[in-house]
Amino acid sequence: MPKRVQSPSSINTYKQCPRRYFYQYIIKYPTKENIHTVRGNIVHEALEKFFSVDINTINEGSFKKDISFYMKNLFDACWAGASTRLHRLGIDDERISFYYNESTQMLANWLNHLFDDLEKEMKGSGSGMHEAFRRLKPIELEKEFRDSELMVRGFIDAIHKDGDDIILFDYKTSKSSELKDEYMLQLGIYAMLYERQHGKYPSKVGLWFLKDRPVTIKVTPKLIKDALFEVEQIHLATESVKIGDYPKKESGLCKWSTGQCDFFDICMRER
């Protein structure tokens, strides 16, 4: 049977629970949206669109105020554009308001880091804000990398160039800013995909934890070797289309105080 295209998400799903992988990626049962995924999509959309601003329209003397105003309006437009998806979740207005406010705080935190970087760039290079912004702006956004030989793909939120260094970033709206194993796998796959397409390692890969700060790590041969191993293993583990070859792995991810796995009910009915 031909290999399936894998991603960091599908590999981590298998590692969390092979049975869940079976339902989601082989049977392709539909999954339900939740507030975390919808909010994450909205925040990512706002960050992607942010860099399309015509920086020449921003007053250098009041750039923090003007850029903050621009970001707020942009985010509000993205949030309004997702209103149907938000209300389909079936949660009350108070909870939606909580996530709206939390998201604006995340973006404000991200902007404060950007402002610090702009001021450092302006001071270090002696340039104005407009030029500093252009230098700090990602060279690519929402870039898809797909490797037809390895049958793996990934979406990189932002690619930055700092001198000769290339830095790959993924934005996270999660609570923790710890580089968990699942994140290390994601970063390793991104580095591997970049290296296979460009013939050289990116200098660093990292996660921008929007509640906290950016965290980066250097790209090493081991990081890429480990990622390649995981890709090879997932292909071997998912050759079968028989449910019995995908055992359940019961954990706190099956059912929790405010919800349950999308496949919980059907999973409990089947062996």
Amino acid 175: pLDDT: 82
Write down all domains in the chain, each with its CATH number in brackets. 35-136 (no CATH), 139-238+259-269 (3.90.320.10)
86 pLDDT above the threshold of 70: yes
At 271, the pLDDT band (50, 70, 90 cuts) reads low
The two structure tokens encoding residue 125 = 């290079």
Question: Which secondary-structure segment (H or E) carries 79?
Answer: helix 63-81
Q: Specify the DSSP class assigned to residue 52.
A: T
Q: What is the pLDDT of residues 244-256, one digit of tens each?
A: 999 999 999 899 8
Asked whether the predicted pLDDT for residue 201 surpasses 90, the reply is yes
Per-residue confidence (pLDDT) for residue 257, from 0 to 100: 76
Residue 61: what pLDDT? 93
pLDDT tens for residues 5-25?
Answer: 999 999 999 999 999 999 999
pLDDT digits (tens, 9 = 90+) for 165-192: 999 999 999 888 888 999 999 999 999 9
What is the arithmetic mean of pLDDT over 122-129?
94
For the chain, give the mean pLDDT.
Answer: 95
Supply the pTM of this predicted model: 0.93
Greater confidence (2 vs 30) lies with 30
Question: Strands (DSSP E) along the chain, which ranges?
Answer: 140-147, 152-162, 165-172, 204-209, 214-218, 255-256, 259-260
